Structure 1
Amino acid sequence: MQFDNLHITENYSNALKTLKHSSGIYSIIHQDTGQMYIGRTSNLGKRLTAHFVSGSSNAHLQFAIAKYGLIAFTFSVIELVAKDQLLAREQYWLDWLFSLPAEFRYNFLPTAGSPLGATRSEATRAAIRAANLGEKNPAFGRTGNLHPMYGRTGVLHPMFGTGVSVSVYNLDNELLSSFPSITTAA
Structure 2
Amino acid sequence: MSGGIYAIHHLESDRQYIGSALNIAARWRLHRKQLKDGNHHCAHLQRAWNKYGAQAFEWTVLETCPAEQLLEREQHHLDSTRRKYNSSPTASSPRGTKHRPEVVAAMRQRVLAAYGNPAFAERHREAQRRRFEDPAQREAVKQRNSGVYRVTRPSGEVLEVRGITQFCRSEGLSVTQMTALARGARLQPYRGWLCEVITPSKTGQAKRKHRSYPLPSRPTEPRQAKRFAALSPQGVRLEGRNLAAFARQHGLDEHGLRGVAAGRQTHHAGWVIRWQAAGEQVELLPPVRGNRNVKHSILTDAGGEEYNCDNLLAFCKTRGLNAPSLVEVARGRRKQHKGWRCRYDQ
TM-score (ref. length: structure 1): 0.49
Query: Rg larger in 1 or in 2?
Result: 2
